[in-house]
Structure 1
């Protein structure tokens, strides 16, 4: 019984830590705020290639979260980074990774691609 309680408390603590850490490292923008700034920034879709090919924000580059560590050199630390995924889970993890590598201007789209109503491109 005590072991189960300890596990539950640990999971809750980890979740809370991640939530507040993400709030610190990435600024979540509404679609309007995102549109205002993403043309002057690096727009990165962190979803997998098949998701990207099915539809993505016009002008986005695909650097999947699973490849982020290997492809960090493609992302300039001196320019703002605008991230999005399907619903903010992966973009939040990508933001944490970038923050640990020294990136400071990190933004993500509120609600992710599934809430996007702007222009998209499909392959």
Structure 2
């Protein structure tokens, strides 16, 4: 697992990442996963749900705390990572890969940072 944010992703100040695509993929950063500790439960938006950039779309529960999950984009949820819901430890093990959270058909993006700006913030 790398703590350097991948350059091909965009980031929010709340530690979510966005991989551009059709649909786009959303997850949480290594910084967030590390700060949370062992992730034990994910509450993610349902397939077909509308999400709004900057709005709360779910929760991530760890052995330390419960944190809100924010959407980096506005659009419609296309898919949810059921493997991560079933085994939330995947989020800690591979936050930028198998630990992705959901995909969105993007209508608009929120305020996003590139990897350098996120690294400076984190």
* TM-score for both structures, normalised by structure 2: 0.25
* TM-score for both structures, normalised by structure 1: 0.25
More strand by share: 2
